[in-house]
Structure 1
Amino acid sequence: DFKDVDFFGADYRVFFTADYDECQRACTQDPGCQFFTFLNKDFSQSDIRFKCHLKFSWSVPAPPTVERNAGLVSGFSQNNQFPQQIATACEGKFFQSTDIPGSDLLSLPAASSEHCQVLCSAHPQCSYFSFISNDFTCYLKNNLNVMVLEAKEGIVSGLPARFCQLSDNWIKLTFEGVDFRGSDIRNEQLDNANACQTKCTEDLSCQFYTYLNDNFSDAAVRRRCFLKRVITMPAPPKVNKLDNVVSGFSLRNCVNAV
Structure 2
Amino acid sequence: YTFCCSTSECVTQIYENTYFQGGDLTTVFTPSANYCQVVCTYHPTCLLFTYLPAAWTKDPAKRFSCYLKDSNTEMLPKVDMEGAISGHSLKQCNIQISACSPDVHIGLDMEGKIYNVTMADSYQQCQKRCTNDNHCHFFTYTSETFHNASFRKKCSLKHTSVGTPASIKVLDEVVSGFSLKPCQLSEIDCQMDIFEDQEFSGMNIRSFFTPDISVCQTICTYFPKCLFFTFFTREWQIESQRNLCLLKTSTSGIPEALISRENAISGFGLLNCRRSFPACNSRIYMHMNFLGDELNVTFTKGHRACQQVCTDVIRCQFFTYFPLQDSCNEERKCECHLRMSSNGSPVEIVHGPGRISGYSLRLCKKKAST
TM-score (norm 1): 0.54
Which structure 2 residues correspond to residues 63-82 of structure 1 after superposition, within 5 A?
Answer: none
Contact residue 195 and residue 266 of structure 2 kept, 8 A? yes
Structure 2 residue 260 is matched with structure 1 residue 151? yes
Which moves more between the two structures, 182-191 or 151-160? 182-191
Distance (Å, rounded) in 2 between the aligned partners of 1:113 and 1:172: 14
Distance (Å, rounded) in 2 between the aligned partners of 1:209 and 1:189: 12
Which structure 2 residues correspond to residues 43-192 of structure 1 after superposition, within 5 A?
Answer: 84=182, 86=184, 92-134=192-234, 135-145=242-252, 147=255, 148-164=257-273, 165-168=275-278, 171-192=281-302
Offset of residue 112 of structure 1 = 1.6
Distance (Å, rounded) in 1 between the aligned partners of 2:202 and 2:111: 34
What's the counterpart of residue 33 of structure 1?
A: 163
For residues 11-42 of structure 1, the C-alpha deviation after alignment (integer angstroms, 9 at most, x for no partner) is xxxxxxxxx931279977689634633599xx
Contact residue 130 and residue 138 of structure 1 kept, 8 A? yes
Distance (Å, rounded) in 1 between the aligned partners of 2:300 and 2:110: 50
For residues 50-100 of structure 1, the C-alpha deviation after alignment (integer angstroms, 9 at most, x for no partner) is xxxxxxxxxxxxxxxxxxxxxxxxxxxxxxxxxx56499x78331122111
Larger Rg: 2
- Aligned letter for 2:199? D
For residues 224-256 of structure 1, the C-alpha deviation after alignment (integer angstroms, 9 at most, x for no partner) is 1112345689xxxxxxxxxxxxxxxxxxxxxxx
Structure 2's unaligned 5+ residue stretches are: 1-51, 67-106, 114-136, 140-157, 171-181, 235-241, 345-370
Distance (Å, rounded) in 2 between the aligned partners of 1:33 and 1:102: 19
Distance (Å, rounded) in 1 between the aligned partners of 2:310 and 2:216: 22
What's the counterpart of residue 308 of structure 2?
A: 198
| 1:182 to 1:112, Cα distance in 2 relative to 1, 3 A | same
What's the counterpart of residue 227 of structure 1?
A: 338
CA RMSD of aligned residues (A): 4.2
SS at match of 1:198: helix
| 1:203 to 1:92, Cα distance in 2 relative to 1, 3 A | farther
- Aligned letter for 2:308? T
Distance (Å, rounded) in 2 between the aligned partners of 1:127 and 1:91: 10
**Number of residue pairs the alignment of both structures matches:** 177
Distance (Å, rounded) in 1 between the aligned partners of 2:165 and 2:202: 29
Distance (Å, rounded) in 1 between the aligned partners of 2:218 and 2:322: 27
Distance (Å, rounded) in 1 between the aligned partners of 2:264 and 2:276: 20
Structure 1's unaligned 5+ residue stretches are: 8-19, 41-83, 234-258
- Aligned letter for 1:36? A
SS at match of 1:153: strand
Distance (Å, rounded) in 2 between the aligned partners of 1:174 and 1:206: 16
| 1:189 to 1:140, Cα distance in 2 relative to 1, 3 A | same
Which structure 2 residues correspond to residues 8-27 of structure 1 after superposition, within 5 A?
Answer: 21-23=108-110
